[in-house]
Amino acid sequence: MEHVDVVIVGAGLSGIGAAHHLQDRLPGLSYAILEARDAIGGTWDLFRYPGVRSDSDMHTLGYRFRPWTAAEAIADGPAILEYVRETASEAGIDAHVRYGHRVQRAEWADGHWTVTVEGREPISCRFLYVCGGYYRYDQGYLPSFAGAETFRGEIIHPQFWPEDLDYAGKRVVVIGSGATAVTLVPAMAPAAEHVTMLQRSPSYILSLPSKDANAIRLRKWLGDKRGYQVTRWKNVAVSTLIYQLSQRFPNLMRRLIRKFTVARLPAGFDVDLHFKPTYGPWDQRLCLVPDGDLFRVLRKGQASMVTDTVERFTPDGIQLAGGEHLDADVIVTATGLNLQAFGGIELVVDGEPVHLPDHLAYKGMMLSRVPNFAFTIGYTNASWTLKADLVAEFVCRVLAHMGSRGYTTCVPVDDGTVERKPLLDFQAGYVQRSLHLFPQAGANAPWKLGMNYAQDVVTLRHGSLDDGALHFS
């Protein structure tokens, strides 16, 4: 059986970043990246629908160690994929990726993990680091729509977009109100006869410039590296301020967002019907539209919005509960994602299966009573990579601490009195549907999942490892 020091599961944005930190800080350790698919990139290689892009700016979604130098701050999927792959290639990380390695099971015994890979020989390691995110790649979320089998056109889920789909000159209905829907509508509208965005309930939508003029100036004045660092912290500060204002003064933020929305819509548009969510700002993630592209196609009449519920599909479109019928040739079900903890890997510790909801998440990255194990879950209120970078740095600190003191085992241990909370305090439907499958968090540190980057920089990058909960032996 092959043995390496660290197995990283997943060759997406998080996994490549984790490997970069590992080989930069602990070059003596051996590692392998196990990737179930046949390519680097994770989410950014999987999703191929028109207009796919990040809903976070690239100065915070990009790695701390590698400046984003393109002009577009809100980047499309292909640009992000190229950035991840270039990072892997330049650092030689791609040589450590094992493609087609779907991890099924990992069993801890006798001081090491035995990682079972579908159709391949097991791999042994001292430390297991899961960086596969929490999206289920083989299955998207699709509600049951009555009459779907009668529809004569094509029904497409964005997660499995067919390369040969021709929607030019066709009537398209996009069901959804989240980031995917607000991306698809302006991307498809110029070619389609008409695109209708059908939403059951509205979301908060903000327009941002696709290019950050301040970032461009800072790079010119300070150079790529320093300009990137300053822009990164500037954007962290702005996003943190917006989040805190949304949580503390939701009515104020509602009014401000409504004012910006009204200014970008055609006269007479029913803003309160289509752009007035029932929840507060940042109770769910805000949707970003670069350069107001969604508002632009609404003004031009290339697209329209309908807020109603689906009664049933018909041979020619969708019958709504309110009585209207939407004619369609193509229906896109941008209805959300399914979450999956740790890629569905079965964990076993000393012969006992790990039932995830019975375990607490230590600092949102390790599991109570599970040795030599870490995972990455990013922020729900900011860029995923901000947290992923910090997790990777913390894992490197732990491994360096173990190596310098001769420890072989590191395990978080709770005293059994910790008040339990859901791992993610987030109201989005895709999160609420799956939270019961995930570990739990605690009401207090170090068992509480932090959602503040500045605080996490202090605690994860500089805080003491001797906190009473993390046990080394």
User: Each residue of 69-82: pLDDT tens digit?
Assistant: 999 999 999 999 99
Residue 203 sits in a domain of what CATH number?
A: 3.50.50
Q: Identity (one letter) of the amino acid at 3?
A: H
In a domain, 28, yes or no: yes
What angle (nearest 5°) sits at the alpha carbon of residue 224, between those of residues 380 and 133?
Answer: 25
Mean pLDDT in residue range 340-366: 95
Query: For the ranges 45-59, 238-252, 367-381, 435-449, which has the lowest average pLDDT?
Result: 435-449
Minimal CA–CA distance to 11: which of 103, 97, 81?
97
Q: 217 and 304: one domain?
A: yes
Minimal CA–CA distance to 402: which of 113, 19, 32, 126?
126
Beta strands, E only, 283-380: 287-290, 303-307, 310-314, 317-320, 325-327, 330-333, 337-339, 346-349, 352-353, 361-362, 366-367, 373-375
In a domain, 374, yes or no: yes
Q: 94 and 213: one domain?
A: no
Would you place residue 434 in the very low, low, confident or very high pLDDT band (cuts 50, 70, 90)?
confident
Q: Are 375 and 365 in contact (CB under 8 A)?
A: yes
Q: Are 173 and 332 in contact (CB under 8 A)?
A: yes
Long-range contacts at 191-194 (CB < 8 A, ≥ 24 apart): 191/167, 192/167, 192/168, 192/302, 192/330, 193/169, 194/302, 194/303, 194/304
Q: 331 and 343: one domain?
A: no
Residue 142, pLDDT > 90, answer no
Mean pLDDT in residue range 142-171: 94
Residue 300, pLDDT > 90, answer yes
CA dist., res. 16 & res. 66, Å (int): 12
Residue at which a domain ends, from 292, 313, 335: 335
Q: Are 83 and 68 in contact (CB under 8 A)?
A: yes
Would you place residue 139 in the very low, low, confident or very high pLDDT band (cuts 50, 70, 90)?
confident
pLDDT of the residue at 422: 84
In a domain, 152, yes or no: no
Tokens of residue 468, six digits = 């009473």
Q: 328 and 390: one domain?
A: no
Residue 340's alpha-carbon distances to 29, 55, 134, 137, in angstroms, are 29, 21, 5, 9
CA dist., res. 354 & res. 345, Å (int): 10
In a domain, 151, yes or no: no
In a domain, 269, yes or no: yes
Mean pLDDT in residue range 184-188: 97
Q: 50 and 111: one domain?
A: yes
In a domain, 150, yes or no: no
- How buried is residue 130: exposed, middle or buried, by Cβ count under 10 Å (0-12/13-18/19+)? buried
Q: 58 and 171: one domain?
A: no
Percent of the chain with pLDDT over 70: 99
Residue 18 sits in a domain of what CATH number?
A: 3.50.50.60
Residue 34's alpha-carbon distances to 97, 106, 116, 131, 148, in angstroms, are 6, 13, 11, 10, 38
Tokens of residue 66, six digits = 């590698």
What is the number of domains present in the chain? 2
Q: Identity (one letter) of the amino acid at 332?
A: V
Minimal CA–CA distance to 198: which of 165, 231, 176, 222?
176
Residue at which a domain ends, from 314, 335, 356: 335
Tokens of residue 388, six digits = 């992923």
pLDDT of the residue at 31: 98
Q: 65 and 85: one domain?
A: yes
Q: 179 and 320: one domain?
A: yes
Tokens of residue 406, six digits = 């001769």
Residue at which a domain ends, from 335, 360, 377: 335
In a domain, 144, yes or no: no
Residue 457, pLDDT > 90, answer yes
Tokens of residue 288, six digits = 């970003």
Instruction: Quote the domain boundaries for residue 168.
Output: 158-335
Tokens of residue 85, six digits = 């792959």
Q: pLDDT tens across 27-70, in order?
A: 999 999 999 999 999 999 999 999 999 989 999 999 999 999 99
- How buried is residue 94: exposed, middle or buried, by Cβ count under 10 Å (0-12/13-18/19+)? middle
Q: 110 and 240: one domain?
A: no
Q: 442 and 454: one domain?
A: yes
pLDDT of the residue at 334: 95
Tokens of residue 430, six digits = 């895709």
Tokens of residue 116, six digits = 């079972």
Q: Are 45 and 81 in contact (CB under 8 A)?
A: yes
Q: 75 and 163: one domain?
A: no
Pairing of strands 440-442, 420-422: antiparallel
CA dist., res. 25 & res. 15, Å (int): 15
Percent of the chain with pLDDT over 90: 82
Residue 178's alpha-carbon distances to 31, 192, 289, 310, 450, in angstroms, are 37, 20, 11, 17, 24
Q: Are 63 and 389 in contact (CB under 8 A)?
A: yes
pLDDT of the residue at 331: 98
Would you place residue 427 in the very low, low, confident or very high pLDDT band (cuts 50, 70, 90)?
low
CA dist., res. 149 & res. 161, Å (int): 19
Q: 347 and 419: one domain?
A: yes
In a domain, 35, yes or no: yes
Mean pLDDT, all residues of the chain: 94
